[in-house]
Amino acid sequence: MTSPVVQKPTVVISKKGLTKQGVAVLQTLLIGLTSVAELELRHGIGILTALALCLCAIGGVRFGRKGSEYVCAATPPLAFAIIVFVTLIGIDGVHPSRLGIDFIAALASVAPYLIASAAYAWFNYFKSRKG
């Protein structure tokens, strides 16, 4: 007797690059790993996290699919703020004065890089919508 051969459906990816979800996850992971490592090792946010923010913006624009520009622009600042806030709660505890000072200091230390990377990502988003 012959048994019927079942063919598996082939999945064809029509476009190269990361989806919106992939861009958001990879950006969040990279920012999270570098900022948590810097907070634990150096007790402050510094140049490694700043460079990771710039790398996330450039990498998201470069490796994301068409249509993922908005996620690429919006994710890094939000991910950075949430990760730093949660990590500082874990390190400092819930002491509002200490937590507030550390959070503002973390944001201030990467502000130029965060602004530059966000400007680059938003520029690409508006350029893609125009054309």
Give me the helix-helix angle, 20-42 and 47-63, nearest 10°.
170
| Structural domain includes residue 8 | no
| Structural domain includes residue 55 | yes
pTM of the model: 0.81
| Structural domain includes residue 73 | yes
Average confidence score pLDDT of the chain: 89
Q: If we measure between CA atoms, which residue out of 99, 76, 88, 83 comes closest to residue 40? A: 88
Task: Kindly indicate the confidence band of residue 103, based on its pLDDT and cuts at 50, 70 and 90.
Answer: very high
**Owning domain of residue 123:** 20-130
CA–CA separation, 110 vs 49, rounded Å?
A: 8
Count: domains in the chain? 1
